Structure 1
């Protein structure tokens, strides 16, 4: 329902002024009863000329994937994919699992790391006896590298992991933390904040057991999850009762 026809897209492209384009986009949003809360910095409805669609709230066009992505967080070069609504929970769990693994590797290899350096700093010791007893010799240098690698990865992954936990706490995306979404009252980084509990449920679901498992996230990425809200109206359109009508909301300057 966010995609428009070719004729409508041509009409937008041919608009003489920003005001003409703005009014036509509001007309399209009203007709489709789209649940929109944010707008462009010029006051118009957010529209993607590449995808020919009205952008849902929190959706952005990825120049690498060449498409609009729901609840866009960032494009990850390591996985060569967008981190967004569909896989954000999996991304967080991936970071959490990786951090636990790095801590485990560091904890189980620190003994050999200590013995290795004791051997290096005490050359008078019998190297052969240390090797025989299981302590690392020069031939076990890979254990030293393993410890350093696990610690470095643990530090880097933990930084990213805890930063995203903070974003979940505030119900923000990485993009929104640097560029605030624009509401009727102006830019607001906390515009989608539902409280830490609902913010957590929006990503991980209400089941604590399923929260740590890679299962699908709840919600539809169109509007914030609110237990007191009805999402589907009689026509099957996603709505939210505690917000104003789309057209009236965006017509207000």
Structure 2
């Protein structure tokens, strides 16, 4: 092979330049994480609801009757504006279609506002909040020493001198506020729950009740308005061409009159009923159950009534609109690790399953003061700055014949025996209680875990007597 030759083995052996812009090596690919778009809360909402327009529209799942409501209003109003209004505006006044248009748009606006909004859904408790609430109830009932016990169903509060019971919702894991109830169709607890209305396709509660009332009230006016002027149209035509010819000339008017006639009674009756409820500051749910009486002298008087019809109406229709509590368009925050609270050496036998799992997954000594090498000599160390040796629970290291500070020294050499010091009581790893599911027998644990197995009451005496033992060893 010649040094400067262009042929030979060196011709075939060429160096290729490594591109820095190429794809990552196989060693780096496992460390790369795909960036996923943040999800919104409505995508994982636990209730039985449907969302549209990226969570801006919230409805119940059963919306078939709602579409029927839309069709009836749109078809009846459309036929009225197409076939009756031209004749009426020419014969009577152009104000008729103008007033009808205002009523129509007001009805549609309040209907969509009622159907597409949050009725006042209460957020469900997180697993940690539910476990903490149940633990507090168990402690208040004196049942923390036993196993899991379901919380009581009621809690009493006093509102304006009247005792009101708050019921516990086992689905949402919360105590429902006063006047709240759980809707079985939407599977949500709704604040100031009135009823679930299939005609609007949503629950009626605190945040959309005023719009629901304005919808049925304006729909009553629109229905009466259309029915009255349809009859007027038929009468005017029958005076010119006869009744039968008038029906033949305007068949759409006949259809409008039939629809309005059969619907006006229920709509007007519903409007009157809710007017009574607003004037007495009650809900449909409370009125059906007979929860309150309108008379102040009785024992079950209504604590929410202001005692004045005008004030009750203003409170229901003109009060401030409370914000939504579920934040359905907010982004889901990534889970952050949470440290367990101070255990203080107490076994959590009365805690719930989620609390026990959290405690088992969290190091038990994270929230306790760390023990330095200057406070207590550690077994299995060649020097005070060396690492701790592992110790198997249930198999303590046997004591050596000559106590020293070599690497063969066991844990029992550092702790004075019961025969030598009768005045002090210590707990060996076999005697220390171990909470179930937290420190299984036979598993290797470090020195920090071994020190935690000893009860809290014996740790102070252990430190003091260990120092005394060191003094005796140094004197020997």
- TM-score bracket for this pair, using the shorter chain length: 0.5 to 0.7
Consecutive unaligned residues of structure 2, counting only runs of 5 or more, are 1-121, 139-147, 293-297, 324-476
Secondary structure of the corresponding residue to residue 246 of structure 2: coil
Residue 130 of structure 1 pairs with residue 232 of structure 2: no
Q: Which residue of 1 aligns with 2:209?
A: 88
> Distance in 2 between the 1:47 and 1:172 partners?
22
- Equivalent residue in structure 2 for 1:199, among 300, 309, 312: 312
In the TM superposition, residue 201 of structure 1 has moved relative to its aligned partner by 1.5
Q: Which residue of 2 aligns with 1:38?
A: 164
Write the mapping of 1:41-60 to structure 2, written as runs, cut at 5 A. Answer: 45-60=166-181
Which one scores higher on RCO, CA 8 angstroms, separation ≥ 6? 1
Write the mapping of 1:136-215 to structure 2, written as runs, cut at 5 A. Answer: 136-181=246-291, 188=300, 190-195=302-307, 196-205=309-318
Is residue 2–residue 55 contact of structure 1 (8 Å, CA) maintained in 2? no
Residue 69 of structure 1 pairs with residue 181 of structure 2: no
Is residue 180–residue 189 contact of structure 1 (8 Å, CA) maintained in 2? no
Q: Which residue of 2 aligns with 1:239?
A: none
Residue 218 of structure 1 pairs with residue 320 of structure 2: yes
Is residue 74–residue 82 contact of structure 1 (8 Å, CA) maintained in 2? yes
In the TM superposition, residue 149 of structure 1 has moved relative to its aligned partner by 1.6
Residue 21 of structure 1 pairs with residue 133 of structure 2: no
Q: Cα–Cα, structure 1 residues 187 and 57, in superposed 2: closer, same or farther, change >3 Å?
A: farther
Q: Describe the superposition over 1:96-154 as per-residue Cα deviations: whole angstroms up to 9, x where unpaired.
A: 111111111112111233467x69xxxxxxxxx728xxx62424222112122223222
Matched residue count: 180
Is residue 113–residue 147 contact of structure 1 (8 Å, CA) maintained in 2? no
Query: Where is the helix percentage greater, Structure 1 or Structure 2?
Result: 1
Secondary structure of the corresponding residue to residue 172 of structure 1: coil
- What is the alpha-carbon root mean square deviation over aligned residues? 3.7
Q: TM-score, normalised by structure 2?
A: 0.33
Q: TM-score, normalised by structure 1?
A: 0.59
Larger radius of gyration: 2
> Distance in 2 between the 1:189 and 1:112 partners?
51
Consecutive unaligned residues of structure 1, counting only runs of 5 or more, are 30-35, 40-44, 120-128, 206-216, 222-253
Secondary structure of the corresponding residue to residue 89 of structure 1: helix
Larger displacement relative to structure 2 (146-155 or 69-78): 146-155
> Distance in 1 between the 2:186 and 2:299 partners?
27
Larger displacement relative to structure 2 (77-86 or 5-14): 5-14
Q: Cα–Cα, structure 1 residues 187 and 220, in superposed 2: closer, same or farther, change >3 Å?
A: farther
Q: Cα–Cα, structure 1 residues 144 and 47, in superposed 2: closer, same or farther, change >3 Å?
A: same
Q: Cα–Cα, structure 1 residues 109 and 90, in superposed 2: closer, same or farther, change >3 Å?
A: same
Is residue 180–residue 188 contact of structure 1 (8 Å, CA) maintained in 2? no
> Distance in 2 between the 1:189 and 1:180 partners?
11
In the TM superposition, residue 51 of structure 1 has moved relative to its aligned partner by 0.5
